[in-house]
A and B are shown apart, each in its own frame.
Chain A
Amino acid sequence: MLTVENLHVYYGAIHAIQGISFSVRQGEIVTLIGANGAGKSTILKTISGLLRPRGGKIILEGEEISTLAPHQIVARGISQVPEGRRVFPELSVMENLELGAYQRKGKEHMDELKRVFTLFPRLKERRNQRAGTLSGGEQQMLAIGRGLMAKPRLLLLDEPSMGLAPLLVKEIFSIIREINAAGTTILLVEQNANMALSIAQTGYVLETGEIALSGPAGELTRNEEVRKAYLGL
């Protein structure tokens, strides 16, 4: 579905992504794990069009998308739930969700709204509340819900577990699995390698801008290096 080929991204003079290739197959959960600063978020920002790669290709179902603007990429079915949730704090929960469906016409998004409220009943209770007044966990639910409102075929998730209590992390991850089971392909970036590998089919381990290891998630979980460096075992 999505193929990234020999991607190079710079932040000013810093060569943040140094020739990365990976692919995401339809229906999969793929995870990119790695330490802080390994370049995980940079990759997602580049796929979404917020950053321009200096070299390489990003191909979505045969179409090169790395030269498109962010709104054109959303139109092609890729949504991102950014790191740190980034909900619009002064807007209500409902307005945040409506903006998630910004490119959809008329009342097309009503089905998604129903679905989001089923996945996250808390958001329904708080739909008129300002998003900035929600707790961290609720904001993460809102960020994911907002991402689903565009009815994406590929959902990019950047550190959904960040700053959440372990119980909430579990809840969020089971919802991610549910979203995937309903047909949305997922590319998940995580520092919490343990949780990420537990729901993913394929994993890539990123180290300072390069892919150090890759393989089926189950194999990575058993890999000695991964266990030491990322799983704390």
Chain B
Amino acid sequence: MSQLLQQLVNGLSLGSIYALIALGYTMVYGIIRLINFAHGDIYMVGAFVGYFALRGGLPLPFAFFLAMIIPALFGLVIEFFAYRPLRNAPRIAALITAIGVSLFLENLGILVLSPDPRPFPQVLPDKSIISYGDVNVSLTQFLMIVITLALMVLLTLFVHYTKTGKAMRAVSQDREAAQLMGININRIISVTFVIGSALAGAAGVLVGLYIPRIEPLMGVMYGLKAFVAAVIGGIGIIPGAMLGGVLMGLAETLVTGFLASTWRDAIAFGLLILILLIKPSGIFGTSSRTKV
């Protein structure tokens, strides 16, 4: 029993990472129907910004802040130079470009940062702040869950109650009608990339603190799994990404804890196959017809 509880805590921590990354996938998809394969690499950028900031002696909150701002700038620039020129091109062109941007960032990382894994500075004391029998919640886990929750609440408030948030939802529902309202859609798309990338950057630092090894290709697997999480929840739907991410984290840790860790990746993609068979639109998705 206590092992199950412990695995749930671990799963929730890992799941919050997936959820933060999945939000970026889902928001961008919701607004321009693009699967931004470079998103996992933005998360890597966040981890490295955090790494250098902490190594440079900056306090954690400041490093965390920088690790959101700089990936956000990456997102802004990538959207502007790589995706905006393809706004009216067939979707496959943008998709292939996204794969290209992803490969570019990964190889740039290998070139500039070297492919060797680096130990992430462990600035948090390794102690559990909640202990209940054999179940321990470490300070890092606690922060991961609390920060993720706080970011999700902020995002939800933003999307529902601000003018820009409402415009984002309008653009995702009907881009042309949104333009007729006087919404500058390029600006809204930029904002979406900035927010999604900042959340991925936050995830990068949190994962560095949790699994203290970072490397330029770390975004590949996490990105892919977060993408799967977004699909499981229903791509384009914000609460779906949150739920999908948490489910993914739970499934992985439970399998690792009770079966074998070698099954971990299989379960992630097994979940994808399962959801595509049962409910391809995802947990929160409504089956939509393609309008002609």
How extensive is the interface on chain A, given as a class? Answer: 20 to 34
Q: Indicate if B167 sits at the interface (CB-CB under 8 A).
A: yes
Does the CB pair B173–A90 fall under 8 Å? yes
Does the CB pair A79–B174 fall under 8 Å? no
Does the CB pair B184–A88 fall under 8 Å? no
Find chain A residues with CB under 8 A from B180 CB: 48, 50, 70, 74, 79-80, 82, 86
Q: Indicate if B183 sits at the interface (CB-CB under 8 A).
A: yes
Question: What are 30 A-B interface contacts by the 8 Å CB criterion?
Answer: A48-B179, A48-B180, A50-B176, A50-B180, A69-B184, A70-B179, A71-B183, A71-B184, A74-B180, A74-B181, A75-B182, A79-B182, A80-B180, A87-B177, A88-B173, A88-B178, A89-B173, A90-B173, A91-B173, A95-B169, A99-B170, A99-B178, A99-B181, A99-B183, A100-B181, A102-B163, A102-B167, A102-B182, A102-B183, A150-B182
Does the CB pair B179–A71 fall under 8 Å? yes
Does the CB pair A103–B182 fall under 8 Å? yes
Binding site for A on B (CB under 8 A): 163, 166-167, 169-170, 173-174, 176-185
Find chain B residues with CB under 8 A from A146 CB: 181
Find chain B residues with CB under 8 A from A88 CB: 169-170, 173-174, 177-178
Does the CB pair A99–B176 fall under 8 Å? no
> Which residue in chain B gives the minimum CB-CB distance to A143?
B177
| Binary per-residue interface labels of chain A (127-147) against chain B in the complex, 1 for a CB within 8 Å, 0 otherwise | 000000000000000000010
Top 7 closest A-B pairs, CB basis?
A74-B182, A70-B179, A86-B177, A103-B182, A71-B184, A71-B182, A88-B173
Number of A-B contacts (CB under 8 A): 63
Q: Indicate if A98 sits at the interface (CB-CB under 8 A).
A: yes
CB distance from B271 to the nearest CB of A (A): 27
Which of B163, B167, B170 lies at the interface centre, i.e. has the most chain A CB atoms within 10 A of its CB?
B170
CB distance from A41 to the nearest CB of B (A): 12
> Which residue in chain B gives the minimum CB-CB distance to A131?
B173
Question: A95-B166, A99-B170 are known contacts. Are A86 and B176 too (CB-CB below 8 A)?
Answer: yes
Does the CB pair B184–A82 fall under 8 Å? no
List 7 other contacts, CB 8 Å, given A88-B174, A91-B173: A48-B179, A75-B182, A79-B180, A86-B174, A88-B177, A95-B166, A95-B169
Give the distance in Å from the alpha carbon of A100 to the alpha carbon of B183 in the complex: 9
Question: A91-B170, A98-B166, A102-B163 are known contacts. Are A82 and B183 too (CB-CB below 8 A)?
Answer: no
